[in-house]
Amino acid sequence: MFKKIINFFDKMEDRNRAWLSRRTILYSFIGGVGVVLFWRGVWHLWDFITASMANDYSQTSVWWDGPLSIVIGVLLLLPIGLWVPAFIGNEVIISGLKKEKKIAEKTEEEVKTEVSEIEEIKEKLEDIEEKISK
């Protein structure tokens, strides 16, 4: 049951990512808003916690403001596949266009193979460049 739920949301994320990767402005806008809301929530929640420890509520907003921003930020980032890449890397648009596996889903062996293929391509390009310059 749990595996079916995870699989459903994983497929939904892949579809959303593929669709949004062709609409980069919308993708970046939603991602930017999600990241800002997440960090705003962390900031406000921490301000509330430190104010409550000091019994000084004059500078803080209501207690639910921070957690609500965190939840909205996460709900924007998770379904479009930007939760992890927003904090780790930016390979999402390229992998969405190529319909490749996300780097987190690849095995270590697949990543090593990919790196060696890239190195071979670099060497071939350098050879071609050298021939052209001659």
Domains of the chain, by residue range, sit at 2-100, 101-134
Name the percent of the chain lying above pLDDT 70: 79
Contact by Cβ (8 Å): 60, 48: yes
Task: Of 1-5, 15-19, 40-44, 55-59, give the lowest mean pLDDT range.
Answer: 55-59
pLDDT bracket for residue 108 (50, 70, 90): confident
Distance CA 74, CA 33 (A): 10
Output the pTM of the full model: 0.57
Q: Which residues contact 21 (CB under 8 A, 6 or more apart)?
A: 27, 92, 93, 96, 97
Contact 28, 85 (CB under 8 A): no
pLDDT tens digits for range 37-46: 999 999 988 8
The token pair that represents 38 in the structure block: 């997440």
